[in-house]
Each structure stands twice: as C-alpha cells, then as structure tokens.
Structure 1
Amino acid sequence: MSANPETRFLHRLARLYGVQTAYYDIFHQRQIASAESLLVMLRSLGAPVASFEDVPQAWREKRQALWRRLIEPVTVARQGESPLIKVYLPSGSDEAPLDCSLELETGEQNCWSCPGKDLPVILTTELENNRYFVKELALPDNLPLGYHRLKVANKGRQAESLIISTPSHGYSTAVSERVWGLFLPLYALHSRESWGCGDFSDLERLAVWVAGKGGQIAATLPILTTFSEDDFHPAPYLPISRLLWNEFFLDINRVPELKECPAAQELISSSPFQDEIEALRRLRLVDYARQMALKRKILEELSRCLFAGGSRRLEELHQFIKANPLVDDYAGFRATFEKQGAPWKAWPKPLCDGTLATGDYVEETKRYHLYAQWLTHQQMEKVSAAAGENNIKLYLDLPLGVHPDGYDVWREREAFLTGATAGAPPDAVFTCGQNWDFPPLHPQQIREDGYRYLRACLQHQLRYAGILRIDHVMGLHRLFCIPRGIKASQGVYLHYRAEELYAILSLEAYYRKAIIVGEDLGMVPGYVRPAMKKHGFYGMYVLHYELASNPKKGGLPVPRNSVASLNTHDMPPFASFWEGHDIPQRRRLSLVDEAGARQEQASRQEMVEALKASLRRHGWLGESAADTLSVLKVCLSFLADSQAQFILVNLEDLWLEMQPQNIPSTVDEYPNWRQKARYSFEEFCRMPGVLEILDTISGLRHGNKQQRRKNR
C-alpha cells in the first residue's frame, strides 16, 4: 500500500493536517484509514482536494505554507525553563536582523533586535529549490505567568505569536488533605421549595449541608444553557453554549423583581399555577419543556416590570450587558431562533451567517433572554459565595461538545469543524462505532485564533468551579472524527496541540486556584496519563471500570492523584450493578443480544467475587457480610480510607437506587437525564442510613482510626 504514489501523498498530506492514517483498536488490531475517509476529512479541514488528483499539489502547497511562516502562532513557555521560539527563515533572510516586540499581559512592552546570523540553527531543509533554516530565538528570562504577544519582523515579513507562560505544575500540587464530597445531577435534586426539579438554591442547600457533614465538594453535571423545547432531548453534555449558564435552574422565588411585580405575584398565587407546580412536583421524571414554560411565564412578567421603569436594578442590568456583550449577542440569537422557528442553518442570509439587526427578532423576547441570563449570573454568584463561606468546592463539568444548532457553533463557526462530527471507533459493545452528533473543534483555526474560544469557555466555568472535570480528556490529544457522508466505523483520529491545551488549562486553573480533573476512562492512549501527571491534573478512579478492565485485581489499589468513586452518571448505580439488574435492562433495550447478556452476567459474577475476595483479603469485608447494603458501605469505606486525594459519593447509591441517570446509546428508549432523586432534599437529609454512611466516610477521610476499626 505504501508503494502506491497516490496513497503515499495522501498519507503525507494527512500527517501535515494532523490526521492519523491508522490506529490500534480496543482489540489491539491496526486499523488503516480508508483513502475516502482521509480525503473527505482533509477537505473538511480546508485542504484544496476536490479529488485524489489534487492531493500531490495540495501536499506541496501545505508543506510550503508551513515552512514559509516566520514563527508559530502559539508557543508555550513553562515556568523555570528558558523560553525559546522557533523562527523559520529562507536562505537570504537567515542572517538578516529580527526586530522583536513582546507585549506582556499587563500591557508592558519590551522591544529588541538581534542579528539572524547569531541565532543557533536547529534544522535545515531544501524545499522547491529553496533552502530553509529553523533557528531559535530566546525570549527574556523570568517571563511572568500569563498570555503575552510576540511580534517578529524580518526583511519585510511580520508575524505574531501568542506566548502562553504557564506554571511548571498545576494548582493541584497545593492540595494536601484528603477530602470527600457528594454528587447528584442538579435536575435530579429537588426540595419542598423548588418547582419539581433542582434549582440553583437547591445546589446552594446541598453545598451547605455537605459542609455540615464534614465534606468539601458539591458535584453535579454540566449546568450550561440547553434547549428545553419539546422537540429537543435534554442533554447536559450537548449545551447550546459553553459560555452561559442554564436559566432552567433559576429559583424564581429569589428573584428580587418578584416583590415589585403585582402581575407576577398574581400569576404565581393563582390556583391553576399552583396546581401546575404541584403536578410537576409529583412527576417521577423531570418535564423540561413544561417546567421551563412555567418559569418563563413568571420571568417574562418580571422582565416587563423591570424594563418598564427606571430602577437601580435596570441600570445594573445595563451595566452587566455592557460588561458582557456576549450575553446581548446570545439573547439576539435566541430571540431570532424563536421568531424563525427553525435551527440557524435554515435561516435566511445574512442571519444564518451571524449578522442580526433590529427587526430580525421580537425585542421583548430578546429582553427576556437578557434578563434570564443576568439572573443566572447572579444566582450562580450566590451559590459560589455560599460554597466558599463553607469551605466547599463546586465540582463542575466542561462538556466535550456543543449542540450543532446552538449559539456557539453559529457565532464561533470558524472554531468548529462543521464538515464532521465527533464520535468513537468500534468496540466490543458499539461494533459500528459511535457518532456523537456534534462538531469537533478545528485544530488549526482555534490555534490561529490563540484559543480565544476555548479560553473563554474555561474562564466561564472556573469563575465558580473549585474543581473542573474535563470531559473526555483524551480529546486534548486526539479526537475520533467522522467526516460527513462517512460511516462511524470509518472515522479517523484528528490530533490537537496537546501541550498548548494543557498549558492553557494549567494557567487558567492557576489564576482561579482550581483543580483540573481529566475524565480518563475507557480506552486511553499510553501517553495521556503521563501528560496529565506532568501538568498536575487528576485522573478518575471508578471502581466499576477498574473491575471491568481487570476483574482478577479486584479494583485495588487506588492512586493518590485521583478522584475516586464507585460509578459515574453513564453507569448503573451500585445496587443495580451489584445485583446485575442493569444487564436484563440493557437486554430489554436491545443494547445486547441474548448471548451477549449471558456473557456479561458471567463476567459480572467474576467481578463481584473478585471484589469480595479482595475486600476480605484486606480486612474490609467479613465472611458473612455480602448483602448489597453491607457491601456498599464497605466499598465506600475502602475508598474513603484510600490514598485518593478526592472521593465522590453518588447520593443515589446511599438508598440503593436501581435506575441509572443515563444509558449510553439510547434516546427515546430510556428517559435519560430526567430521573429525579427518589427522595427530596429534606427527606434524604434526615435518613439515618444516609447520615450513618456519610459520618463513616467523613471520619475515615479525616484519619479517624477508630472509625476504620469499627468498619472492619
């Protein structure tokens, strides 16, 4: 195959664009990307290849473009290391002076000039009858941390590079004590005050309660803005935007305008409205469309009241919009979306191209979205303040992707690879691969833009997150992409500049004194975890995964630099896993055939026996204690007593919940992301069984040897 000139040039071009031409699957078999997949992927990345005949010329042009640049668009300077910049110089310019200007993040400038002939040569090449040199340019030592701009000029050419001066290690190195916390999706959390599902006030209550029990973490799923209309499936991992919070979680009773708005007060106190609230509270599942419609009725009245007068609050809203122009743009997008009644790709020009004008939307609708986003900002600030006052870290989650019909792709489309979707290659369960139906980021475009969009996403989360989970951390290195018109099984891996992405994460975390956790579950390339460790990121230890990957090991030991838990939101709860209820459930959903179900049951039994044997061998489990609740308590105690820096306890496990929050690869077949917690906040806070387990965990985390002996 390598002898074929056409294939050889295709593979060369693919490598220049960061496209992997082969990979090893979960069975350790080498899978070679098809020529068609590579061609379509390259076309989506912007390569001028209408057909295979265009490949050789495209390769030559891309190679020339890479060598003709003066400096890279982004450079990482790690603290404690001498910052060196690669300069690309053609023969005839390699000895000419380089005029340099370095503008620090603070605005301070440093200008200098150096003869090109004095710079050390690290590489040379011949290209199209021209000789090129790569030389090293030293930046001033002791660069302060931050984002700096370097400009270099040489014989009429000029280029600019973003210099990311990043800490040598992540903020995580400052963490010493072993801590624990609770996890529950915010939509699942509900109280007697909320209207049938969790809200920001419920998250605040949970954080304060966790602190009272000795915990230091309140964790939830992504709470970014999503579509809540009837024709959209609820999906916390497919938000409209990764730059804004979700007004669905607003606590209406804490909105200041409610006291000054008779129309809203009258509506809330009316019998039909109160009946609807009670009906929503009685539902076992969250009804997003119905819930949002109810809240919106009140929010629209409150918005009208606010905009009708010249109050201090209205001035504060205008100041917020001025300081956050993104919110104004988003509100216009949502208002246009509602007026058009269709996704943005179906809008007429110039609307679909990102240009909106007065008249393209209903002004009152835009005002509603402005007001709602302002309120989410204020209520998130209150949650964060209450958490901070109680020494609680909010554990938030940054999704890998965004909704293709959402705001981010509409406004930041240059940052996205709209001719492909992200997914996963075939494995033992998903034999045809997975298509996640969202566009991946365009590696070249986000780099040329100095990662502006990604930095904004991180800054939005880290404003309040003490711990931030990065969904599918392998995506910092590479992502499985499926070009449009190609089957998921024929997708290809696309590489990103991992060192630059890690540098940005490390710097943003340092600014906010936040912990970064990488979701490193499943098939993880061997280079990912060493990179995470190098940058001070925490990994995840999930007992279910550990048992599945090596049943005979029994899930031990637990690494120190990890967030340890029994399961995740994509797995069955502990009781369902332990008793094997999830296997017939998956069989009923046609996710596994009869033979596969029998094989899973046999494998599960092997895992269960291995874990029991391991726990007994280490003195945690007695010979007779094997009922589900006893084993749950022992497993949580084992994690609490481990060296793991953090442990997360799924609240639903504590009352032996059987139903999962999400079953991957289902949409209409199962009510994903809609299941309320079986008990309200007020109820589980008083459950003796729940309190006993949490007291045990807290005691073990804080070094209570007496508690450890008691459990054994």
Structure 2
Amino acid sequence: MTDALTALAHAHGVATAYTTDRGHRVDVAPDTLVAVLAACGVDASTEAAARVALETHRRGQAERLLPPCVVLRVPGDGSPNSTRPLPAHLRQHTEAHVRLESGGTSGLSSTLPPGHHILHVRTPDGRRAHAPLLAVPDRLPTPAGRTWGFLIQLYSVLSRRSWGMGDLGDLAELASWSGRELGAGFVQLGPLHAVEPGPLPDPSPYRPSSRRFADPMHVRVEAVPEYAYLAPAARPAVDDLVARARRLNDAVLEGSSLIDREAVRELKQRALRAVRDVPLPPGRAAAFAAFVEREGQGLTDYATWCALADVHGGAWRSWPAELRDPRSPAVARARNELAAAVDHHRWLAWITDEQLASAQAAAVGSGMPVGLVHDLAVGVAPEGADAWALQRCLAAGMSVGAPPDDFNRRGQDWGQPPWRPDALAAEGYRPFAELLRSGLRHAGALRVDHVMGLSRLWWVPEGRPPTEGTYVRYDRDAMLGVLALEAYRAGAAVIGEDLGTVEDGMREELAERGMLGTSVQRFEYLGGSAGRHGPLPPDQWRANCLATLTTHDLPTTAAWLSGEHVDLRARLGLLTRPEAEEKAAAAAERDGWLAELTRLGLLPDPDGEVAALHRFLRRTPARMLGVWLPDATGDRRPQNLPGTATVHPNWRLPVADARGRPVPLEELPASTLVRILADVFAHDTADVLAHDTTENNTKESHGRPGSC
C-alpha cells in the first residue's frame, strides 16, 4: 500500500485497517481501497493517479472558506446559541449571517431555530461563500416514564378480514385493542416500505424499493372511502376479487398456505384500479392535491419509477439507457406519456399514507403514549425506486454489509448501495432528512435499523466477499443531527438498533442526545462476547433502551427454551460444528439464564418460563419493554432465519400457536399467555420504577449480532 493511497483513503474517510470484534487488527487490501475510492468519484487506480487526486483534494480543502455542510447544535428551548460554527481562521473579521429556512435572516450568536438554513460568509478581502447550515436540537426529550408494547411484523398479523396478509386495518385494530384493554403503550412494526415489483426470492421488508413511501400492499381496500361508491358495472368484478382474497386469507389461517405477497398484491392492484375510477369529491380531491404538493419531487420520482417499472420491469439498470437517468429528457417525455399511470401511483401513495395516519390515530386514541413505532431499514434494493431517483447520492458498485464477527464468521453482504458521504453533505443531507420525515410523520417513535451506519458503514465492492470490504466514515454529528432534528419536529422518540459491532462512543452519544438503544436478552452478558461470563443482572441493564427477549432474526423464546432452534438449523444444514456441540452450547446458554431467574426468585413461576423471562425484563430499568407477539402466542417458528431464503419460509409465516396453528387477530383477546404477559408489564410497581436511572445508560453490551 503506497503512502499516497493511504493518505487519500484517510482524506475520504475510508479505513485502511480495522479492528475485529475480538480485538484483532486487519489491514485492508489496496484493491479494496481503490474500488471504494472509485465509488466516491476518486481515481486511485495508479500511483500517479492517487498522487494527483490527493493533491487536488488538499488544494480544494485549503481554498474552501466553509465545509460542504455546517452543523450547529442549538438548545431546544429557544435560548441563544453558545457557539459559532466557523473554522478558526475565519472567526475574526469575517461577516456571517444565516438565511433561515423560513425566509428571514439571523446572526449566528442570536437565537437560531432548529432547521435547515444557509450560512453566508464574507471575508475582509471580499471572498464569499455559503453552505447548508443544519441547526439541530442538542437533545431530544426523554420519553416519560416506562411503557411496554408488542413487536410485530404486520404481514404476519392477519384477521379474518385480511386479504392474505396483515394490513393497516388490522394494525389499527391491534393498536386500539392492546392500548385500551391491555394498557400497551406502543406497537413496533417491521418496515412497511415499498417493495420491488415482481417475484422475490426472499421478500425481506429490509430490502425495499423505497424507504420514503409505504407499500400499497398494506392498504385495507374496503377502508378506502371511494370503495363504497364503486359503479354498479364495476362492483361484480371487485366482489369477485374480494371473494378470492378471502379464500386466500382462509388458506393462510387454516395453515394450508404460506403468506403469498405476489398473490395479495395482484388482487389489491386490480381492486384499487377499479376504486381509482371513482371520482374524488371536492374535499378529498383537495387533500390529494395537498399530499402531492407536500411530497414534491420525491413523490414524482417514485411514481415515475413505478410507472416505468410497469412497462420495463423493476430492474432499472436494464432499462433503455436514456431512461436510467431520472433527470433525462427521455424520462420527462415518458412521464408525460405515462401521466395516468404516474397519477395512479401518486394516488396509491396517498391512500396508504391516509391509512397510516388512521392507524396512528387509533393507537393514540386508545391511550397509548407512544403509538406506532415505525422501522427505517438500513438501505434499499440496488434496482429499486430510491436507487434510481437518488443515484447521485449512492455509491455505485458498492454494497452495505458487516465484517466477520462472532455472529457470522464470513461477514455479511446485504446487497444495498450505501450513501456517498460527500454527496449527502453537498446536498445538506436533504435526501436523508426527507425519508426520515416520511417515517416519522405517523409515528410516536422511529426505530433506525443498524444505527451505527450513521457513523460508519462496511462497504463491500460488488462481486467480492464481505471479508474484502472496509469501513467508510460518515459525519456522525451531521447524520445524528438530522435524525434529531426530524424527530424533534415530529415530536417523536428515536430507537437506535445498536446490535452488532459498535465503535467506541456510539452508544454514549446516542444516550447523550436522548436517543434510545436496543437491548436483547440473548446478548446481555457480563464480560466479552467470546467469554460470556453469565447473564447480566437486570439492575445493570441500561435505562435508555428498548429491551426485548428476542427479535425477528432470532428464535422465538419458546423455541430457544426447548432447543428447537438448533434442530431447525441442523435440518437445514446450517450448523458450523457438530450437532451435539451446538445442542450442548445452546442448553448451557439457556440453563445459565434459568439459573439467573432462579437466583432472582423468578422461578419456579406458575405461568411458566416465558412469563418468568418477561418478569426479568420488567426488573430492568429500560424505558420501553417489548413483547415479540409470537412469544405471546407460543409460536416456535422464526419469522426470519438469516441466509436461508431458498430453504426456509422467511417473511411468509402468520403468527401461530405452539402447535403451529395460525392465530387470527380476533383470537388474541382470548389468549391466556397474551393476558399473562400484559399483566406482567401493566402492573409496574414502585420498586421497579425506582430503577429508572441514567446511571447505566452508556453501558457497553457485547456479543450482539447484525440485523439485516
């Protein structure tokens, strides 16, 4: 590795070496650095090219009056700012003013409202410059008190009114019932992002086409107001679609069929096209127009991509060359030619947004202090709508993943293009802010998947194994600042999914900014990940977190207790050591936790070990306590078994009972275990609340896996 290549990589935030989760240093291969720099628009293909690029970068840095984007942390209470975000050499004799997002002007030392502003400077020699200025709240308000709620994947929560998968009508019912009857404070969802059209080998909600818009598959067709006013001629065809959907739904609930997203999508698309033919009354037409105006170019791009995908397929890199650039004249012509289809996809986005709003209103109306907790996936599919519309901000030829660790010794490649740090900064982080704004609009909190990616991401050059990647650094202050700003505006909390390899200081900064982390019982151990010296006592858990027993990527608690998760992995040929060793290790882990429950007097428990483990969670100081809904029905099947798309029905299973019989939403109120677990958290006592302290907020946890 040459000195020029090393210096150039450091200048662009590209790591030339990294430390593994076991503390070993690994040097990054030079060809990886060359590929990553090329994805950032930097030519380092030869020694001479690297030297030229380095000199160009240094000269540009020296000539800049301002950085590409300036971040200023401001008090959220409207008090004057205490710092000036200017480089040291410009702080004296330099005129500066801020053009506010609202249109007015302000000085740097005066009260500056949180927002996206523009900083203007002029030096004594007459040079001028301007840059985006992000005035971000210093800290988000901490969620008041403690609350609990269900964690769900919406598709898996079917009612007898569903069309073959759970929908937004089901979500509203679940939230209203659990809030009013069980005292739940939130419902946390998996991502509802728009997915790619066409058959998917692994229909993961964490590989969306767009993170900005929700998928119309989640719409309750009968809840669209115009459905009631279908023309008589259209009614028989739509009634036939409804009947087919009910048969599809019955097959899933009877256990004779898996959830089939493609079948659901086809039925809903056909029904919604008929509903769209019903003219909108004046009030709703005005509401639709207001939605289109509010969403602006982002909605236009998304709807255009959808319309083009209807014609050319969902893989935009295979489209005619002139259609691959969203700003090309050919795309503008196609948008006019496909105006009706573009309008239809705008309308689909609107009715989906309306039903999201209704679900959050139902949650809040039930008394929930938080309501819906939406999930922001770490990235998007490389051929999807966002990758097409935002390609100027994404690193072509790169994929997001994770380095080798205890969870996966081969590393992980999630197949999603990462943000380009330089492009995001040049645009004042607006693309990131816009998708955050959408995710927060109808939410009381936002879960950010792999929140560590706001500081650094593992980039893997396409065609290479994850072991040949490297970390690329982002402006953590800016990324977390934008997240704080949008959450502040929405009046919502932030939950960072900080499972996996976390760099020093990240969890501390999340806590300092008032953002919650994520603690999962399976990974809370004293000591390091390799040693696992025993379960972490409940009073040593951090307070500023969402605490759960398991996640969508892990075995259900019933399966973990019985050891069935090892049997499943053995049947699928996924074990990395002899089956007897795997079973012994799993049993030792389980027995260690059961011994801790016994030490605390939580076992024996007349309600069983699942209830006892939830009582353990209740003893932690965590502000939010999550119950994975399949745990409350006794389900033994994992919703997702990472890396098994072809051999396990990932993301296709309805919530079921211990025998594998699907449990419809209507039966949840009669479930004994659901009531038991609700009672565990609904009767919080003063001694439990006394643990609500920030003393352990920044505790480092170890041995956490990646998420996607």
Q: What TM-score does the superposition give when structure 1 sets the normalisation length?
A: 0.88
- Counterpart of 1:613 in structure 2 is 595
Pick the aligned partner of 1:683 from 639, 648, 667.
667
CA spacing shift, 1:177–1:265, aligned 2, 3 Å: same
CA shift for structure 1 position 33? 0.4
- Counterpart of 2:696 in structure 1 is none
- Number of paired residues? 659
CA spacing shift, 1:301–1:275, aligned 2, 3 Å: closer
Deviates more, 1:681-690 or 1:574-583: 681-690
Does structure 2 retain, via aligned residues, the 8 Å contact 1:637–1:696? yes
Counterparts of 2:293 and 2:501, CA distance in 1:
45
CA shift for structure 1 position 82? 2.2
CA shift for structure 1 position 695? 1.9
- Counterpart of 2:366 in structure 1 is 390
What secondary structure sits across from 1:86 in the alignment? coil
Counterparts of 2:132 and 2:288, CA distance in 1:
34
Pick the aligned partner of 2:332 from 350, 354, 357.
357
- Counterpart of 2:584 in structure 1 is 602
- Counterpart of 1:34 in structure 2 is 29
- Counterpart of 1:85 in structure 2 is 85
Counterparts of 1:151 and 1:521, CA distance in 2:
40
Counterparts of 1:55 and 1:465, CA distance in 2:
47
Pick the aligned partner of 1:165 from 135, 145, 155.
135
- Counterpart of 2:706 in structure 1 is none
CA spacing shift, 1:88–1:644, aligned 2, 3 Å: closer
- Asked if 1:105 corresponds to 2:75, the answer is no
Does structure 2 retain, via aligned residues, the 8 Å contact 1:189–1:680? yes
Pick the aligned partner of 1:216 from 173, 176, 185.
185
Pick the aligned partner of 1:410 from 379, 388, 408.
388
> Which amino acid in the other structure matches residue 163 of structure 1?
L
CA spacing shift, 1:427–1:611, aligned 2, 3 Å: same
CA shift for structure 1 position 553? 2.5
> 1:222-621 maps to which residues of 2 (within 5 A)?
222-231=191-200, 233-262=202-231, 263-270=233-240, 273-283=242-252, 284-306=257-279, 312-325=283-296, 326-354=298-326, 355=328, 356-359=331-334, 362-392=338-368, 393-546=371-524, 549=529, 551-557=532-538, 558-595=541-578, 597-621=579-603
> Which amino acid in the other structure matches residue 31 of structure 2?
E
Pick the aligned partner of 1:53 from 10, 23, 48.
48
- Asked if 1:203 corresponds to 2:171, the answer is yes
Deviation digits for residues 360-401 of structure 1 (CA, Å, limit 9, x no counterpart): 664443333122111101111111222222232211111110
CA shift for structure 1 position 264? 4.1
Does structure 1 retain, via aligned residues, the 8 Å contact 2:198–2:314? no
> Which amino acid in the other structure matches residue 641 of structure 1?
R
Does structure 2 retain, via aligned residues, the 8 Å contact 1:70–1:88? no
Does structure 1 retain, via aligned residues, the 8 Å contact 2:177–2:366? no
CA shift for structure 1 position 337? 1.0
CA shift for structure 1 position 88? 7.6
CA shift for structure 1 position 648? 0.5
> Which amino acid in the other structure matches residue 204 of structure 1?
A
Counterparts of 2:612 and 2:499, CA distance in 1:
23
CA spacing shift, 1:163–1:545, aligned 2, 3 Å: same
CA shift for structure 1 position 544? 1.2
CA shift for structure 1 position 310? 7.3
- Asked if 1:147 corresponds to 2:116, the answer is yes
What secondary structure sits across from 1:353 in the alignment? coil
CA shift for structure 1 position 554? 1.9
> Which amino acid in the other structure matches residue 354 of structure 2?
Q
Counterparts of 2:184 and 2:556, CA distance in 1:
21
Deviation digits for residues 19-74 of structure 1 (CA, Å, limit 9, x no counterpart): 01111112221100011111111111111223233112211111111121111122
What secondary structure sits across from 1:233 in the alignment? coil
Counterparts of 2:128 and 2:583, CA distance in 1:
64
CA spacing shift, 1:253–1:276, aligned 2, 3 Å: closer
CA spacing shift, 1:57–1:237, aligned 2, 3 Å: same
CA shift for structure 1 position 201? 0.9
CA spacing shift, 1:528–1:600, aligned 2, 3 Å: farther
Pick the aligned partner of 1:694 from 678, 701, 705.
678
Counterparts of 2:130 and 2:263, CA distance in 1:
51
Identical-pair percentage = 29
CA shift for structure 1 position 450? 0.3
Deviates more, 1:682-691 or 1:696-705: 696-705
CA shift for structure 1 position 588? 2.4
Does structure 1 retain, via aligned residues, the 8 Å contact 2:196–2:314? no
CA spacing shift, 1:701–1:176, aligned 2, 3 Å: farther
Is there any run of 5+ residues in structure 2 with no aligned partner, and where? Answer: 76-80, 657-662, 690-708
CA shift for structure 1 position 281? 2.8
CA spacing shift, 1:511–1:315, aligned 2, 3 Å: closer
Does structure 2 retain, via aligned residues, the 8 Å contact 1:37–1:486? no
Q: What CA RMSD, in Å, does the superposition of the two structures yield over aligned residues?
A: 2.3
What secondary structure sits across from 2:86 in the alignment? strand
> Which amino acid in the other structure matches residue 207 of structure 2?
L
Counterparts of 1:591 and 1:686, CA distance in 2:
37
Is there any run of 5+ residues in structure 1 with no aligned partner, and where? Answer: 1-5, 112-138, 706-712
CA spacing shift, 1:701–1:79, aligned 2, 3 Å: farther
Counterparts of 1:237 and 1:95, CA distance in 2:
45
Counterparts of 1:680 and 1:701, CA distance in 2:
32
Counterparts of 1:269 and 1:146, CA distance in 2:
49
Does structure 2 retain, via aligned residues, the 8 Å contact 1:146–1:166? yes
Does structure 2 retain, via aligned residues, the 8 Å contact 1:554–1:613? no
Does structure 2 retain, via aligned residues, the 8 Å contact 1:565–1:648? yes
Counterparts of 1:637 and 1:526, CA distance in 2:
31
> Which amino acid in the other structure matches residue 24 of structure 1?
T
Q: What TM-score does the superposition give when structure 2 sets the normalisation length?
A: 0.88
Deviation digits for residues 390-423 of structure 1 (CA, Å, limit 9, x no counterpart): 2322111111101111111111111111121111
CA shift for structure 1 position 171? 2.1
Larger gyration radius, structure 1 or structure 2: 1
CA spacing shift, 1:582–1:228, aligned 2, 3 Å: farther
What secondary structure sits across from 2:202 in the alignment? coil
CA spacing shift, 1:551–1:247, aligned 2, 3 Å: same
What secondary structure sits across from 2:277 in the alignment? helix
> Which amino acid in the other structure matches residue 322 of structure 1?
E
> Which amino acid in the other structure matches residue 493 of structure 2?
I
Deviates more, 1:194-203 or 1:274-283: 274-283
CA spacing shift, 1:405–1:701, aligned 2, 3 Å: farther
What secondary structure sits across from 1:331 in the alignment? helix
CA spacing shift, 1:232–1:362, aligned 2, 3 Å: farther
CA spacing shift, 1:312–1:178, aligned 2, 3 Å: closer
Deviates more, 1:241-250 or 1:519-528: 519-528
What secondary structure sits across from 1:219 in the alignment? strand
Deviates more, 1:676-685 or 1:309-318: 309-318
> Which amino acid in the other structure matches residue 183 of structure 1?
L
What secondary structure sits across from 2:494 in the alignment? strand
Counterparts of 1:452 and 1:96, CA distance in 2:
30
